[in-house]
């Protein structure tokens, strides 16, 4: 059942992105001789679409904000325990440092409650295929959960071993 909801969640994101990633080159209406991602500046309400939130649970959600020449996708992942909050924060930092390699990664999440943001402009659509971008974001959402789970298990494992060493030392037993 849980798997099923993840698939539905991803499918909805896929269809939303498919409909919103129809971007074109668009010069600014307010500043002459300039082109900027309208969604980042938000200075012209006519060129923005209504933002959409796709949520799987209270914590897991995806915000898609579209405009005529750029789309911003923000992702929040579930954080039930303190250790998950810590891990997400570290991962966020790790990715922010490497954001240039991801091309569409935004160095800072666009909103406070979200962990990761992507910014896709019409120039990215020139470089990458639309399908490629969508699949990347879906893989990212699916992968990030797994990654944090794996790291959490690894940490628990390590602390267990460390605790064993520690108690062994206390008991003065040879290892």
Partner 1 sequence: MQSSQAQVNRILPGISSFAWNRDCSKIAICPTNQEIWIFKTNSTADISKWERIQVLREHLNPVSSLDWHPLTNLLLSSSTDRGVIVWEESKDVQGLKPQLAVVKETKANIDAAWNHKGTKFCVGAASGNVFIGSFSEANNFWVGRATGKKVLHKSSVVSVRFDPQSGRVVASGSTDGTCQITTCFISGIDDSNNQGPFGSINTFGETLIKFQAQGWVNTVSFSSDANIFAYATHDCELNFIDVSKAAQKVKEKPEKVLYKGNPFLNCLFVNETTFIACGFDKVPFVFKKTASGWQFSKYLDDGINKVKEQQITSGSFDNAQAFFKRSETERASGVKLDDDVSIREMATKHQNYINCLKIYAGNAAKPQVISTSDINGFINYWDLQSL
Q: Residue holding tokens 């402009």?
A: 121
Footprint on this chain of partner 1 (rule: CB under 8 A): 7, 10-11, 14, 18-19, 22, 24-33, 35, 44, 46-47, 68, 94-95, 98, 101-103, 125-136, 138-139, 142-143, 146-147
If you write DSSP's letter for every residue of the chain in order, what string do you get?
-HHHHHHHHHHHHHHHHHHH--------SSSTT----HHHH---GGGBPPPEEEESSSS-EEEEEEBSSEEEEEEE----SHHHHHHHHHHHHHHHHTHHHHSSB-SS-SSTT-SEEEEEEHHHHHHS-HHHHHHHHHHHHHHHHHHHHHHHHHHHHHHHHHHHHHHHHHHT---
Q: Which is nearer to partner 1, 154 or 164 (CB)?
A: 154
Q: Which is nearer to partner 1, 10 or 87 (CB)?
A: 10
Q: Which is nearer to partner 1, 19 or 169 (CB)?
A: 19
Name the minimum Å distance from CB 165 to partner 1: 26
Name the minimum Å distance from CB 142 to partner 1: 5
Q: Which is nearer to partner 1, 54 or 134 (CB)?
A: 134
Q: Which is nearer to partner 1, 127 or 168 (CB)?
A: 127
Name the minimum Å distance from CB 15 to partner 1: 9
Q: Are 26 and 69 in contact (CB under 8 A)?
A: yes
**Cβ-based neighbour number of residue 21 at 10 Å:** 20
Name the minimum Å distance from CB 110 to partner 1: 20
Name the minimum Å distance from CB 44 to partner 1: 8
């Amino acid at each position: 059942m849980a798997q099923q909801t993840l698939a539905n969640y991803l499918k909805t994101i896929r269809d939303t992105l498919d409909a919103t990633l129809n971007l074109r080159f668009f010069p600014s209406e307010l500043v002459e001789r300039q082109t900027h991602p309208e969604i980042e500046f938000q200075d012209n309400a006519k060129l923005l679409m209504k933002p959409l939130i796709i949520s799987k649970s209270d914590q897991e959600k995806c915000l898609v904000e579209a405009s005529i020449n750029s789309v911003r996708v923000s992702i929040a992942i579930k954080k039930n325990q303190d250790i998950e909050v810590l891990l997400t924060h570290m991962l966020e930092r790790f990715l922010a440092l490497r954001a240039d390699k991801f091309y569409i990664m935004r160095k800072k999440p666009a909103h406070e409650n979200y962990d990761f943001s992507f910014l896709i402009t019409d120039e990215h659509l020139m470089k990458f295929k639309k399908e490629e971008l969508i699949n990347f974001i879906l893989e990212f959402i699916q992968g990030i959960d797994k990654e944090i789970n794996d790291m959490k298990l690894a940490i628990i494992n390590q602390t267990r071993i460390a605790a064993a060493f520690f108690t062994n030392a206390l008991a003065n037993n040879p290892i």
